[in-house]
Amino acid sequence: MKLNICHLYPDLMNMYGDSGNMLALIRRCQWRNISVEVKERRLNDKAEDFKNQDIFFIGHGASRQQSIVAQDMKSIKPYLKEAIEEGKVFLAICGGYRILGRYQDANGATLGLELFNFYTEETTDHFAGNIIVETDENYNLIGFENHVGKTYLNGLKPLGRVIFGFGNNGEDKTEGMRYKNTIGTYLHGPLLPNNPRLCDKIIEAALRNKYGTVELEKLDDSLEFETRRKILELIDPKFTSLA
């Protein structure tokens, strides 16, 4: 089996260790003898469809980079929308996440692809620190958030419920968003090395969308889960059972 991954704007949207998410996806595929080919989409590249791509990833960038990327992505919006509706996997982190909806930049201009009907308000609130999120799939996510502004989902399904930290807006206990196989989230850390079960869920979803019924070979994640326990212990010893 083979997966094609499209890494969107790796030079502009790559803060807080987000490249670790790509490494985790690639390694956890290779350990199972699933071949991976990575295609990079960069600024001003020719617009083209994504028929051959199985997973899309975009990380976080500073405000100026977000504005540049949001403008450039308008040329590929129809192709991204088609891929999302076809159930292809899309993982968007922080700035990449808010670009999928609607948001305001530092100058008050409204930006974003509006692929989804959520929006982010610019505020002076700075949400930073460790975060723990409970999902509906009986596993917890851990990470680090560092964002300004409040995101409201307008009825979209969240990625999970905040146990510790701030999440989308520090008010309603939601974190991230989920639609079909698209995930938007504020979790850095990076996300996937800290949360191998989510990484495998993403790989599995991509394989099933491409090949049909698939069951992933189990890996020895003892080191990953020991790391998770240590992180949770540093946050608060009472959370170690959530690893």
Annotation says 94 is catalytic: yes
Annotation says 188 is catalytic: yes
User: Could you tell me whether strands 110-111 and 119-134 are parallel, antiparallel, or unpaired per DSSP bridges?
Assistant: unpaired
Spatial distance between the Cα atoms of 202 and 210, rounded to a whole number of angstroms:
12
For residue 193 the two structure tokens come to 């090395």
For the chain, the distance separating the N- and C-terminal CA atoms, rounded to the nearest angstrom, is 31
Spatial distance between the Cα atoms of 156 and 176, rounded to a whole number of angstroms:
10
The pair phi, psi for residue 65, each rounded to 5°, is -65, -40
Neighbours of 90 (CB within 10 A): 24
CB 2 within 8 A of CB 34: yes
SS3 assignment, position 144 = strand
Of the candidates 146, 13, 22, 5, the residue with the CA atom closest to the CA atom of residue 68: 13
CB 69 within 8 A of CB 13: yes
Active-site option among 6, 94, 147, 199 = 94
Spatial distance between the Cα atoms of 3 and 200, rounded to a whole number of angstroms:
13
CA–CA–CA angle 227, 60, 210 (5° rounding): 80
Active-site option among 7, 60, 147, 188 = 188
Residues designated catalytic: 94, 188
